[in-house]
Amino acid sequence: MIKAINEALENGFSYANYRKKVTSLIAEGQSTGHTQSPDLLHYSELNETRMNRLEKTISISEEVKAKLQNLDKKYIWLVLAEGWCGDAAQIVPVIHKMAEATDKVELKIALRDDNDTLMQHFLTNGGKAIPKLIILDAAALEVVADWGPRPQGAKQLILDYKATHGVVDETAKIELQKWYLHDKGISIQNEIVEMHVNILA
């Protein structure tokens, strides 16, 4: 897996460059990823708007900032994502703000479809669900934890909806976006910080 990690780090993006990549592809009528469709382009455009809004509205709590600043060593947060993914649009800006709040974390974003070998190590119920945050010890490049593709509350919402309706349809996706809007990134912050606490335990 170390080879796949190194490749993802080499071909990965800073947050700013990830945003630029997605935006430039949209301007060409494309989405990220190896599959192209009008739907994926539409979702990418929606996500641009979401991410622009979240960058202005998301704030990291003082408690979370303190915990991030007190990490014992340096870490790399490697996120597998794609521009068309609705969950990634809601989560990656929060992870970016968290990484900005400490000098102990470097954030890298790698495209899922360009890093399939690595993605295969972090499947969710056999699927390539994203975003996936892989926490690496920066010195050793060892995986110490991983998180994703959704915070627990969002995950439960989709499980409950599927149990009731049998499918995850557009209505489910709208309910999921409402959940993220209401949560304001708090669950994401708390779950990721809690994971770091568990690493140290």
Cα(101)–Cα(63) distance, rounded to whole angstroms?
11
> Which DSSP string do the residues of the chain spell out, in sequence order?
-HHHHHHHHHH-B-HHHHHHHHHHHHHTT--SSS---HHHHHHHHHHHHHHHHHHHH----HHHHHHHHT-SS-EEEEEEE-TT-HHHHHHHHHHHHHHHT-TTEEEEEEETGGGHHHHGGG-BTTB--S-EEEEEETTTTEEEEEE-SS-HHHHHHHHHHHHHHSS--HHHHHHHHHHHHHHTTHHHHHHHHHHHHHHH-
Cα(98)–Cα(105) distance, rounded to whole angstroms?
9
User: pLDDT per residue over 99-121, tens digit each?
Assistant: 999 999 999 999 999 999 999 99
User: pLDDT per residue over 151-188, tens digit each?
Assistant: 999 999 999 999 999 999 999 999 999 999 999 999 99
Largest Cα–Cα distance in the chain? 48
Helices 15-27 and 38-57, axial angle in degrees (round to 10)? 140
Which range of residues forms the domain containing residue 183?
Answer: 2-200
The yes-or-no verdict on residue 34 having pLDDT over 90 is yes
Sheet holding 75-81, edge to edge: 105-111, 75-81, 132-137, 142-147
Which of 122, 50, 121, 120 shows the shortest CA–CA distance to 85?
A: 50
Per-residue buried b or exposed e for 166-177, using 16+ beta carbons within 10 Å of the residue's own CB:
eeeeeebeeebb
CATH of residue 17: 3.40.30.10
CB of 78 closer than 8 Å to CB of 106: no
pTM of the model: 0.95
User: pLDDT per residue over 71-100, tens digit each?
Assistant: 989 999 999 999 999 999 999 999 999 999
**Burial of 17 by CB count in 10 Å (0-12 exposed, 13-18 middle, 19+ buried)?**
exposed
Mean pLDDT score, 137-154? 96
Number of domains in the chain: 1
